[in-house]
């Protein structure tokens, strides 16, 4: 019933096969109800050499140990412990209930099945990570989460528990997880195997290190991109964009990146400039470079049938197809097909189009929008990718979209690669992904939710994460509430991986032309969104905080290096730095920016003070230089409009 290799234990009883193997500095569990366990690694990179100990008794129950974590097999039932302390255990109901920890429901006529795995729930357990979700608690205990991407929902199925372990659901299938009071239950709607990975360590930071070691760490954050990025919905013409860049230059404000948003093309899928409104891209790029500014362009995976690239994608099988009905997946000023980033040859083809149409001008940064991909109707059972049905593989799509752009730029010789992308999955950081949170509303409650989202994204292994400064939808530039909101959001953005202005500002601007459904002139735009667009008082605050950002570049570089080397995020949950402090596990509206700066954004309109929890130690207030020696206490601090509370470790 038990078989052994130097790296694994396998249990089989004729009805089910369960394998536990050392993988990196953790243990991987895979299981199937019939046949051979598939080898697909999904999020896990090649198994690393490990210090493995296997106990294989002639009678009784075997166990496998790796990097301090032990897994004991009681037949098919698995149980994890460290230092003789139970960490995690699958939950079975033997006897008359006859319910096993793993339940398989075959999908008739296929080798696939719906899989459910149950784990024992523990009182007092705290669960953090899992990516980005709207309207959930910071502590995910008690939450039900959809394992699927949507615009502003990013499913990255890894969490850290305050019990001392990390858990990865290593499966890109759509499904759900419930962290209930009485059970934890993971479900894949259709899959070929159960697959999860567990590690344990004395601190959450060590768990992050082990997790990112086997899934991939972030690429370098280029120093030339650590300053201000300027973006809005949408610069409509070459002259309009250059007038903004020239004004920044005239004011003596260094602009690191300026962004051209959607419909700078004629049809979706052209991935090229509409020459009527962008007549000389080479001259535009050269002028921007003279200011020290890089140009980023928006690329959507949507392919209009009228696009000049449609036949190349369609004839070669590089589009997402449908198992039944029509293969159109998106609707935005037309009906569009979706590019299939899971096709290896399709990735090369798409990267070649980007090189031909943008690279020739010296453009080497891309904004990968609609990256979930966003379906017009989320009937995911319709769609089929090159590597399988969307239900079974769909969550890996955004990672492969980032892979396409990253490898294409590498092939072109670009050294400092960083692409903006609206979604991610496990392993996205190794493909130069700067993830932003999608099309969110402009409100103080949303800002507060975004802070918690950014913290949980970092725990899930996405270290470069940002949100639209001020939010995306509904911000009127003349509204005093929004003008205060964007100041508070901007102050917070200074202490995130990238400082980026973006949003669909109101009142909206009409199209340049009408009576058409394509081309760069037909699509409307938003009001100005530059630093000087919100009045002189706000402008002075923006410039002040940009100066703070510029003065922190050495520190930002050091913090980003930790993302590369040990897998720590830049936006850090308080417990990553203070794991023994119980209060640090509760804090959803303050965080550590790297190891030294405690950041406490102001998330209420009209607030001119806020409470901040200071863990035990010495803290220096950024505004006054006042030293506070804390024993682990909550303090009330002043927060005038031109100041966001920040404390530096003393």
Instruction: Tell me how crowded residue 277 is: count the other CB atoms within 10 A of its CB.
Output: 21
Is 372 annotated as catalytic? Answer: yes
| 3-state class (DSSP) for residue 598 | strand
Distances (CA, A) of 402 to 192, 215, 341, 428, 588: 25, 15, 9, 7, 29
d(CA 512, CA 187) in angstroms, rounded, equals 49
DSSP H helical segments within 327-389, as ranges?
344-357
**Residue range 310-336: mean pLDDT, rounded:** 94
Kindly provide the b/e burial profile for residues 433-443, where b requires at least 16 CB atoms within 10 angstroms of the residue's own CB: bbbbbbbbebb
Q: Tell me what pLDDT residue 387 has.
A: 98
d(CA 210, CA 199) in angstroms, rounded, equals 7
With CA atoms as reference, report the closest residue to 123 among 184, 78, 82.
184
Assess whether the region 2-200 and the region 571-649 belong to the same CATH fold.
yes
In this predicted model, what pLDDT tens digit does every residue of 399-454 receive, in sequence order?
Answer: 999 999 999 999 999 999 999 999 999 999 999 999 999 999 999 999 999 999 99
- Indicate whether 383 pLDDT > 90: yes
- Indicate whether 95 pLDDT > 90: no
pLDDT band at 47 (very low <50, low <70, confident <90, very high): confident
| Residue with the larger pLDDT of the pair 466 and 99 | 466
- Indicate whether 93 pLDDT > 90: no
Contacts of residue 551, defined as CB under 8 A and 6 or more positions apart, other chains included, come to none
Say which of 220, 439, 479, 550 is annotated catalytic: 439
Kindly report the three-state secondary structure assignment for every residue of 255-322.
EEEEEECCCCCCCCCCCCCCCCCCCCHHHHHHHHHHCCCEEEEEECCEEECCCCCHHHHHHCCCECEE
Is 504 annotated as catalytic? Answer: no
Q: Tell me what pLDDT residue 85 has.
A: 98
Helix axes 536-551, 553-565, angle to 10 degrees: 60
Q: What is the Rg, in whole angstroms, of the alpha carbon atoms belonging to the chain?
A: 25
Say which of 112, 272, 274, 369 is annotated catalytic: 369
| 3-state class (DSSP) for residue 474 | strand
In this predicted model, what pLDDT tens digit does every residue of 445-491 receive, in sequence order?
Answer: 999 999 999 999 999 999 999 999 999 999 999 999 999 999 999 99
Q: Tell me what pLDDT residue 514 has.
A: 80
d(CA 399, CA 52) in angstroms, rounded, equals 31
β-bridge pairing 388-389 and 465-466: unpaired
In this predicted model, what pLDDT tens digit does every residue of 102-159 receive, in sequence order?
Answer: 999 999 988 899 999 999 999 999 999 999 999 888 999 999 999 999 999 999 999 9
d(CA 36, CA 34) in angstroms, rounded, equals 7
d(CA 42, CA 396) in angstroms, rounded, equals 8
d(CA 461, CA 23) in angstroms, rounded, equals 18
d(CA 447, CA 135) in angstroms, rounded, equals 12
Q: How would CATH label the architecture of 571-649?
A: Sandwich (2.60)
Q: Long-range pairs for 320-324 at CB < 8 Å and ≥24 separation?
A: 320/373, 320/383, 320/384, 320/385, 320/390, 321/383, 321/384, 322/382, 322/383, 322/384, 323/381, 323/382, 323/383, 323/384, 323/389, 324/382
**Residue range 513-521: mean pLDDT, rounded:** 85
**Residue range 280-296: mean pLDDT, rounded:** 98
Say which of 185, 195, 372, 504 is annotated catalytic: 372
Bridge partners, 338 (sequence order): 302
Does 2-200 carry CATH code 2.30.30.40?
A: no
- Indicate whether 351 pLDDT > 90: yes
pLDDT band at 516 (very low <50, low <70, confident <90, very high): confident
Helix (H) or strand (E) holding 536: helix 536-551
**Residue range 580-585: mean pLDDT, rounded:** 98
Contacts of residue 625, defined as CB under 8 A and 6 or more positions apart, other chains included, come to none
For the chain, give the mean pLDDT.
96
Bridge partners, 161 (sequence order): 127, 165
CATH of domain 223-300+357-370+397-565: 3.20.20.80
d(CA 418, CA 396) in angstroms, rounded, equals 19
Q: Tell me what pLDDT residue 80 has.
A: 98
Could you write out the DSSP letters of every residue in 174-222? -EEEEE-SSEEEEEEEEES-EEEEEEE-SSHHHHHHHHHHHH-------
Is 369 annotated as catalytic? Answer: yes
Q: Residue ranges per domain, the chain? A: 2-200, 223-300+357-370+397-565, 571-649
β-bridge pairing 419-421 and 366-368: parallel
| 3-state class (DSSP) for residue 244 | helix
Quick one: what percent of the chain has pLDDT higher than 90? 93
Contacts of residue 338, defined as CB under 8 A and 6 or more positions apart, other chains included, come to 301, 302, 303, 319, 320, 329, 330, 373, 375
In this predicted model, what pLDDT tens digit does every residue of 236-262 receive, in sequence order?
Answer: 999 999 999 999 999 999 999 999 999
Instruction: Find tokens 């007092």 and name the residue.
Output: 124
What is the DSSP secondary structure assignment for residue 375, as one 8-state letter? Answer: P
Q: Tell me what pLDDT residue 128 has.
A: 98
**Residue range 376-393: mean pLDDT, rounded:** 94
| 3-state class (DSSP) for residue 434 | strand
């Amino acid at each position: 019933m038990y078989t052994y290799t130097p790296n694994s234990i396998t249990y089989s009883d004729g009805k089910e096969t369960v394998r536990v193997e050392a993988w990196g500095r953790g243990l991987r569990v895979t299981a199937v109800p019939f046949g051979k366990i598939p080898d697909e690694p999904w999020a896990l990179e090649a198994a690393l050499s490990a210090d493995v100990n296997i106990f294989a008794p002639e009678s009784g129950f075997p166990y496998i140990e790796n990097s301090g974590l032990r897994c004991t097999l009681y037949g098919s039932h698995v149980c994890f412990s460290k230092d003789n302390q139970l960490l995690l255990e699958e939950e079975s109901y033997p006897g008359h209930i006859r319910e096993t920890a793993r339940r398989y429901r075959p999908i008739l006529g296929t080798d696939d099945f719906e899989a459910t795995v149950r784990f024992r729930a523990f009182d007092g357990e705290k669960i953090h990570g899992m990516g980005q979700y709207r309207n959930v608690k910071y502590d995910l205990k008690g939450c039900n989460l959809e394992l699927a991407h949507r615009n502003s929902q990013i499913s990255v199925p890894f969490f850290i528990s305050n019990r001392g372990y990390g858990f990865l659901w290593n499966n890109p299938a759509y499904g759900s997880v419930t962290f209930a009071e009485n059970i934890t239950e993971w479900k894949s709607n259709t899959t070929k195997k159960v697959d999860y990975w567990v590690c344990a360590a004395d601190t959450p930071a060590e768990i992050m290190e082990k997790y990112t070691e086997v899934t991939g760490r972030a690429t370098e954050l280029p120093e030339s991109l650590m300053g201000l990025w300027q973006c809005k919905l949408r610069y409509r013409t070459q002259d309009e964009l250059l007038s903004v860049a020239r004004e920044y230059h005239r004011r003596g404000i260094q602009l690191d990146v300026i962004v051209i948003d959607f419909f700078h093309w004629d049809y979706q899928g052209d991935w090229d400039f509409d020459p009527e409104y962008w007549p000389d891209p080479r001259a535009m790029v050269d002028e921007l470079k003279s200011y020290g500014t890089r140009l980023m362009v928006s690329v959507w995976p949507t392919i209009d049938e009228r696009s000049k690239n449609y036949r190349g994608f369609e004839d070669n099988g590089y589009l997402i197809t449908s198992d039944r009905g029509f293969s159109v997946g998106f609707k935005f000023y037309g009906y569009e097909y979706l590019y299939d980033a899971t096709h290896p040859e399709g990735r090369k083809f798409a990267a070649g189009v980007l090189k031909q149409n943008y690279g020739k001008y010296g453009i080497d940064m891309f904004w990968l929008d609609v990256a979930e991909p966003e379906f017009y109707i989320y009937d995911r059972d319709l769609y089929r990718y090159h590597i399988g049905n969307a239900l079974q593989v769909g969550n890996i799509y955004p990672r492969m979209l980032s892979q396409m752009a990253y490898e294409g730029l590498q092939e072109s010789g670009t050294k400092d690669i960083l692409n903006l992308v609206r979604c991610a999955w496990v392993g996205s950081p190794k493909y130069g992904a700067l993830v932003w949170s999608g099309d969110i509303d402009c409100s103080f409650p949303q800002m507060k939710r975004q802070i918690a989202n950014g913290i949980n994204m970092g725990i899930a292994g996405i270290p470069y994460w940002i949100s639209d400064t001020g939010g995306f939808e509904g911000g009127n530039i003349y509204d005093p509430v929004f003008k205060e909101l964007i100041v508070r959001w901007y102050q917070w953005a200074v202490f995130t991986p990238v400082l980026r202005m973006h949003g669909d500002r109101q009142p909206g601007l009409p199209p340049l032309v009408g009576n058409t459904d394509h081309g760069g002139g037909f699509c409307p735009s938003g009001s100005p969104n530059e630093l000087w667009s919100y009045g002189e008082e706000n402008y002075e605050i923006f410039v002040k905080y940009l100066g703070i950002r510029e003065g922190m570049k050495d520190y930002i570089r050091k913090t980003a290096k930790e993302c590369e080397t040990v897998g720590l995020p830049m936006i850090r949950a308080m417990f990553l730095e203070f794991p023994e402090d119980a209060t640090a596990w509760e804090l959803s509206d303050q965080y550590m920016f790297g190891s030294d700066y405690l950041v406490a954004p102001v998330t209420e309109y009209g607030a001119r003070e806020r409470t901040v929890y200071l863990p035990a130690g010495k803290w220096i207030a950024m505004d006054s230089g006042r030293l506070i020696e804390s024993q682990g206490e909550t303090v009330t601090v002043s927060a005038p409009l031109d100041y966001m509370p920040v404390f530096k470790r003393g």
